[in-house]
Amino acid sequence: MPFLTQEFDGESYYRYEHTTKTFGFVGLNEMLKYHLGEELHESKDAVKFGEKVIGYIRDYADKLKEETGMRWTVTQTPAESSLPYDEKILIFENGNYKLVKIGEFVEKYLNKYKDRAITYGDSNIEAYIKDENIYAPSFDKDGKIVLKPITHAIRHKGKEIYEIVLESGKKVRVTGDHSVFAINSNLDVVEVKASDLKVGDFIITPKIIPAIGKDEVYLNEIVYEKDKWRVRKS
């Protein structure tokens, strides 16, 4: 802020009236799923309704442009909660758990489905991959670990990277906007951005994860052997 408020040739460097104001929107696909029961790629009606919603926002931005004489734009806000390219994620595919680098996973399916990929903003791209039948362990609304299908592969420019280190020595690197589950002072489980975590905070990590067609799996049973990850047999 001190840099922006300095004077240049007798005028403030930052002049509000010369800036561009932006309406950013997120969750369009989720909104369509909620109202229509269909996502963008599933029907023309979903696409038309999505275009109608964005058109409404665009019209409002144009109205403000006329009323204020300032510049107003509409843009899709990219998701910023993510992991760096070489961070590994746990997926369930073809009846087995695997640890894969998220960057390689995303690039694989962006290339495979480049014909359906959507590009937006500054080098942001995503593709629908739900029909690959790949799953990831997730928390449900009751706080239980369940397997949920991975629906999209998304690549975008990240922000600052935070490394979360547990007392056990386990660690993970995520962007500052990436949420983790923590326990607050009332012993409630809440979502907390990585950038808001403090030393001494308690976060939730699973011990047992589900498996399709198998019994539950303990995380410490997933071991590395000859360039592959497998579930250790008891």
Residue 225 and residue 162 in one domain: yes
Q: Give the mean pLDDT of the chain.
A: 76
Residue 41 and residue 124 in one domain: no
What pLDDT is stored for residue 185 in this prediction? 78
Stretch 32-38: mean pLDDT: 83
Predicted confidence band of residue 16 (pLDDT cuts 50, 70, 90): low
Is 31 a domain residue? yes
Is 70 a domain residue? yes
The CATH number of whichever domain residue 96 belongs to comes to 2.170.16.10
End-to-end CA distance of the chain: 59
Is 214 a domain residue? yes
Q: How confident is the model over 151-188, as pLDDT tens digits?
A: 888 887 767 888 999 888 888 888 887 888 888 777 77
Residue 116 and residue 225 in one domain: yes
Residue 71 has pLDDT above 80, yes or no: no
Do residues 189 and 182 touch, judged by C-beta distance below 8 A? yes
CA–CA separation, 228 vs 100, rounded Å? 10
What pLDDT is stored for residue 79 in this prediction? 53
How many separate domains does the chain show?
A: 2
Residue 123 and residue 220 in one domain: yes
Rounded to two decimals, the pTM is 0.57
Query: Length of the chain, please?
Result: 234
Residue 226 and residue 189 in one domain: yes
Is 197 a domain residue? yes
What pLDDT is stored for residue 211 in this prediction? 60
Residue 95 and residue 178 in one domain: yes
Give the domain extent around 31: 7-76
Residue 210 and residue 96 in one domain: yes
Is 2 a domain residue? no
**56 φ, ψ (degrees, to nearest 5):** -65, -45
Residue listed under structure tokens 């408020």: 5
Residue 48 and residue 25 in one domain: yes
What pLDDT is stored for residue 101 in this prediction? 92
Residue 33 and residue 104 in one domain: no
Is 206 a domain residue? yes
